[in-house]
Structure 1
Amino acid sequence: LIKQYFSGVVPGDIFTDLHRQGVIPDLLFGDNHLHFRWISSENWTYTKSFEVDKNILKFSTLLLRLKGVDTISSVVLNGVALLKTNNQFVEYVVNVGGVLAEHNQIQVHFSSPVSYAAEKSKEYERSHGHLVPPVCPPTIFNGECHPNFIRKAQYSFSWDWGPSFPTVGIWKPVDIIAFNGYFIDDISWTTERTAEFWVVHGEAQAFMDSKAATVGFDVEIESLDISRHFTYNITEKVDREKLKFDIKIPLKKVKLWWPNGQGQQKLYTIKLRAEDREISRRIGFRHVELIQDYIDAQQKDKGRHFYFKVNDRPVFLKVINHSLGIKFCS
């Protein structure tokens, strides 16, 4: 068994890493993609040595977070198997207390997505007595079979607008989260228009140290003179909590967000502050409706309308499929 090592980049993937190191040519030139299909049939390992400040190790909770792993892998830290991954579209978080040290080595061992999908298809056929279509893409695509048996970007096995590149790699950032008590990670929201108010339905994602705790934070939209404090008493032992909050804003105070060509795309800055951490995001306010009423209520066989209203104004929407042949998520 011959092992070769090349420098890689995270976020990244095996195709772009090999090209960056001059191991393979530009796969988007000519028919190069046909000559390097073997890459997707191999197993690959990403490894890195890194240091951690000893003061970080004093926190009560230490988490390793991989925001995006593509796709079938096992993760090993300092010789300890931490977890296995099988879904490109989710993040993975694992407690590394007692494993993380000042000097560390992490390895992510990737299995071939092509081989994995083929094996899962065989397992299904053996247990159910039939295949799940579509088994393979059209021959002209020069793609790989059984993408429906792996939780991975389906186009990577080929599509009508681009070649087949079933990648492996760490396509989103990796970080270590260290905290005592709790850690507010991010915020998300939806907006709702009522008769008198815009309502921001917010959600703060918090990591917990699995002990009962009181969590408090402030939410601010400075340009709208909005400032609210929220407190939560967490009585159950949880690792992760979604802390919901609502903020009402009078309709007249808000400038609306409009689609391109219909008006300005007004955005406001919303900030969440918790202890020594501040999270800042941009938020817009618009009301969208899909209209599907009958063309003629007396003659329903004429069918229905299908159009959108944005902020009570009918708008024309169109979609194009713009592909430049770039097929690497990272």
Structure 2
Amino acid sequence: MKDVTQLDEGWNLFHAGALLPVQVPGCVHADLLSAGLIPDPYVGANEHEVAWVGRQDWTYTTRIEAAAGSHERTDLVFDGLDTAARITLAGTELGRTRNMHRSYRFDVTGLAGELAVRFTSAYQEAAEVQAITGARPNVYPEPFQYIRKMASSFGWDWGPTLPTAGIWRPARLEHWSTARLAQVRPLVTVENGTGRVELRLTAERTATGAGRPLTVRATVAGVTAETAFDGDEAVLVVEVPDAGLWWPRGYGGQPLYDLDVTLAHEGAPLDTWHRRIGFRTVELDRSADEQGTGFTLVVNGVRIFARGVNWIPDDTLITRVTPERYRTRLTQAAEANIDLVRIWGGGIYENEAFYDVCDELGLMVWQDFLFACSSYPEEQPLRGEVEAEARENVVRLMPHASLVLWNGNNENLWGFRDWGWEPELAGDSWGEGYYLGVLPRIVAELDPTRPYAAGSPWSGSWDHHPNDTDHGTHHSWEVWNRQDYTEYRASVPRFVAEFGWQAPPAHATLLRALPGEALAADSSGMLHHQKADDGNGKLNRGVERHFALPGDFDRWHYLTQVVQARAVATGIEHWRSHWPRCAGTVVWQLNDCWPVSSWAAIDGDGRLKPLYHELRRLYADRLLTLQPPGVTGAPEVALVNQAAEPWQTVLTLRRVAADGTVAGESELPVTVEPRSVLRLAVPQALLPVEGSAKEFLAADADGLRAVHFPVPDKAFDYQQPEFDVAVEPVAGDPGAVHVVVTARTLLRDLLLQADRIAPGAAADRGLVTLLAGEQTRIRVTGAGAVDAGAARAALFCVEPA
């Protein structure tokens, strides 16, 4: 039986003429930080102080002892090396690597002594490759398209520039005899209730193992199949009757089955392989209709409006992302009613723990191949690396039921057409051959059970503009960059794969990341932790369109959070109300990789921004929204029901004056059919006067509320907000309190920033609008003892201009 020796201890790093003990898996930045040799690059402007780390070569060393025992073969295996490395053992070169996204295996039978992994600076490697391929246009000034490495480690418009180096995934010695399982590729399908696993296996043999008869046995859900073979490949089929279907969350359960494979010779096991699988079908409906070309995910025959978020690496120093951190972040996603996570192409193929949690939680995974915002040379040495990387990761990830879509790239097809690349390239390769040739061929060959899309955005062919709203996927960035968020309502894309709005991180996150700084929107630390082009200018213009721009930081911080949440809400409410024409929204972005002003719903310290709580409302099965005057010339109520059961409710509509007086009210019993949208015109008698600054419309149903104001907030005749605050214990939970707010006037977008009470405190809700006389109970955890004064100081709401 194969034996494994983990190489996770005894590693050293050469630094300043000395040996520094380091962690493997790990990276140089994290090791230097742990040793106190560099400052925290996430604090203040320390990012600049550690820039030298990414431009230096680094060498890791350990000792390998002679293998004991009777095995014929010993392999040295690296699951991930970041990135350009030369590996030697006892002075003998084993090989060289230039791809972070691949694993490597070297035959070291009979060798012992010092193992050295010498990493060349990513900048040096990129320069050498660029000299071979020639220059290509890029959105950012860093050379990430010339090296198969996490692109965002070179910086992004939300991330720091910290190109890492190191043994970033596990290393080990594998001792084996006769044969081992070199590849196991399960094609999992289901038809008429019977699950089918077609296993395609490849064995690697030692010299003495050549030609020997081998058997392979597979077991799933108590069903076992076995076959014998004497070559290097075998096919084995296991059928599971009455297999439970894996569903996206909200559509059913997520039954998972252990799949165990054993390779044996003459009854003696040689190697084993284990994964968990789920039975389901997935299709991508891209058929044409009278409105253009659709893009609808269909799981187990059910058409789905995807409630998605984009995922970036959860830490720029990615080796610090543990399985527990994956579980925390993805559980937060699930609790916000998210059902799809898109792994963006400037990051990594995540660790197994990520996909395991998605399998368990019913989170569909859209996996980009790793190309983003740049033109990529298609010549060697990159072309061979791209093919090897894609083949390995398709096989590695295909057992996961949560994986529903492969996507060729992020924004590169769009960039070629609109960002000036085409004339600059003058016929040079730029990646099209990958997205329309190499990658779909690999997916069709290795994983035909899943759909492939060439890119995002992509209209399906060059017959249409790559970012055409009527065809395929669409990225909506013109609104954030240049317009008011109300412009999201100007179109109904078939699938919105990226859109978003910025806001700063939580107040406590800023205090930690910018110690000793007097916080201001344009303070040096705030500007350093704002990576977007004219990011603060866009934040300010977004606020000014609706509010008077405040002079104090606390109000500015609050209002930017409000505008972020309202902006995303405006888009999702509009697009969900147009199901099935629009079949999904994927918000940019769920998470952050450090403390920064960004589009994220969860900031770099893991604190929830108001946008997170708003997503929980927007992505619930049942959504109530008031849409402003459209084709009917009057506001409409849209009731969205994504549940499998009818929604029977009573809709209450009220015309309310600024002083709280109810000028008109009606109640209407309604039924919204499953997976459908009901749109109703607002009765004329309840419509606020067009352009009125003194009244608004409120809609309520089953605890859901929507409001429509005829004018921007800065033009509305708000009263000075008045409210009472009390703090009450939570029965059965001594670590929590309820902050009880009772409105004596209209309170629009009331927000409790719990981290202002205590850095570890969190509230269970974000923005809430109360009419005069109404009350809300906000559950706060992690704050310790809280008095009403501290709670009141942490409360914000919209005020008169």
Q: Go from structure 1 to structure 2 and tell me whether the alpha carbon gap of 1:243 and 1:64 turns closer, same or farther (over 3 Å shift).
A: farther
| 1:196 Cα deviation after fit | 6.8
The corresponding residue for 1:13 is 27
Query: What is the one-letter code of the residue matched to 1:293?
Result: S
The corresponding residue for 1:291 is 285
TM-score when scaled to structure 1? 0.83
The corresponding residue for 1:109 is 118
The corresponding residue for 2:644 is none
| 1:69 Cα deviation after fit | 0.8
CA contact (8 A) 2:76 2:108 kept: yes
Q: Go from structure 1 to structure 2 and tell me whether the alpha carbon gap of 1:26 and 1:325 turns closer, same or farther (over 3 Å shift).
A: farther
Unaligned runs of 5+ in 1: 126-130, 139-144, 235-240, 297-301
CA contact (8 A) 1:186 1:279 kept: no
Unaligned runs of 5+ in 2: 1-14, 320-801
Distance 1:152 1:324 in 2: 13
Q: Within 5 A, what are the aligned runs for 1:158-197?
A: 158-184=155-181, 187-194=184-191, 197=194
Q: Go from structure 1 to structure 2 and tell me whether the alpha carbon gap of 1:307 and 1:280 turns closer, same or farther (over 3 Å shift).
A: same
Distance 1:159 1:243 in 2: 45
Matched, 1:24 2:38: yes
Q: 3-state DSSP class of the match of 1:49?
A: strand
Q: Within 5 A, what are the aligned runs for 1:114-153?
A: 114-125=123-134, 131-134=135-138, 137=140, 145-153=142-150
CA contact (8 A) 1:162 1:325 kept: no
Q: 3-state DSSP class of the match of 1:163?
A: strand
Matched, 1:255 2:254: no
Deviation sequence 1:271-314 (CA, Å, 0-9, x none) = 12233444332110111111122333xxxxx3133211111111
Distance 2:87 2:286 in 1: 49
The corresponding residue for 1:36 is 50
Query: What is the one-letter code of the residue matched to 1:121?
Result: Q
Distance 1:259 1:187 in 2: 25
Q: Go from structure 1 to structure 2 and tell me whether the alpha carbon gap of 1:121 and 1:9 turns closer, same or farther (over 3 Å shift).
A: same
The corresponding residue for 1:215 is 214
Query: What is the one-letter code of the residue matched to 2:146?
Result: F
Q: 3-state DSSP class of the match of 1:282?
A: strand
Distance 1:247 1:188 in 2: 13
Q: Go from structure 1 to structure 2 and tell me whether the alpha carbon gap of 1:196 and 1:228 turns closer, same or farther (over 3 Å shift).
A: same
Distance 1:318 1:249 in 2: 31
| 1:324 Cα deviation after fit | 7.7
Whose strand fraction is larger, Structure 1's or Structure 2's? 1
Q: Go from structure 1 to structure 2 and tell me whether the alpha carbon gap of 1:180 and 1:148 turns closer, same or farther (over 3 Å shift).
A: same
The corresponding residue for 1:72 is 84
The corresponding residue for 1:310 is 299
The corresponding residue for 1:201 is 198
Q: Go from structure 1 to structure 2 and tell me whether the alpha carbon gap of 1:68 and 1:323 turns closer, same or farther (over 3 Å shift).
A: closer
* Higher RCO structure (Cα 8 Å, ≥6 apart): 1
CA contact (8 A) 1:121 1:149 kept: yes
Query: What is the one-letter code of the residue matched to 2:227?
Result: F
CA contact (8 A) 1:25 1:32 kept: yes
CA contact (8 A) 2:58 2:118 kept: yes
Q: 3-state DSSP class of the match of 2:318?
A: coil
| 1:258 Cα deviation after fit | 0.6
Greater Rg by CA: 2
CA contact (8 A) 1:67 1:91 kept: yes
Matched, 1:265 2:279: no
Distance 1:34 1:257 in 2: 47
Q: Go from structure 1 to structure 2 and tell me whether the alpha carbon gap of 1:97 and 1:34 turns closer, same or farther (over 3 Å shift).
A: same
Distance 2:313 2:223 in 1: 43
Q: 3-state DSSP class of the match of 2:106?
A: strand
Query: What is the one-letter code of the residue matched to 2:213?
Result: T
Distance 2:229 2:235 in 1: 9
| 1:94 Cα deviation after fit | 1.4
Query: What is the one-letter code of the residue matched to 1:95?
Result: D
The corresponding residue for 2:790 is none
The corresponding residue for 1:154 is 151
| 1:257 Cα deviation after fit | 0.4
The corresponding residue for 2:308 is 319
Aligned counterpart for 2:96 among listed residues 84, 102, 110: 84
Percent sequence identity is 28
TM-score when scaled to structure 2? 0.36
| 1:185 Cα deviation after fit | 5.4
| 1:228 Cα deviation after fit | 0.9
CA contact (8 A) 1:161 1:323 kept: no
The corresponding residue for 2:72 is 60
The corresponding residue for 2:9 is none
The corresponding residue for 1:279 is 273
Deviation sequence 1:243-292 (CA, Å, 0-9, x none) = 43222333xx1110010111111101111223344433211011111112
Distance 1:17 1:186 in 2: 33
Distance 1:70 1:226 in 2: 41
Query: What is the one-letter code of the residue matched to 1:110?
Result: F
The corresponding residue for 2:109 is 97
Equivalenced residues, count? 298
Distance 2:193 2:258 in 1: 22
Q: Go from structure 1 to structure 2 and tell me whether the alpha carbon gap of 1:212 and 1:329 turns closer, same or farther (over 3 Å shift).
A: farther
The corresponding residue for 2:754 is none
Query: What is the one-letter code of the residue matched to 2:286?
Result: Q
Distance 1:281 1:137 in 2: 39
Q: Go from structure 1 to structure 2 and tell me whether the alpha carbon gap of 1:229 and 1:40 turns closer, same or farther (over 3 Å shift).
A: same
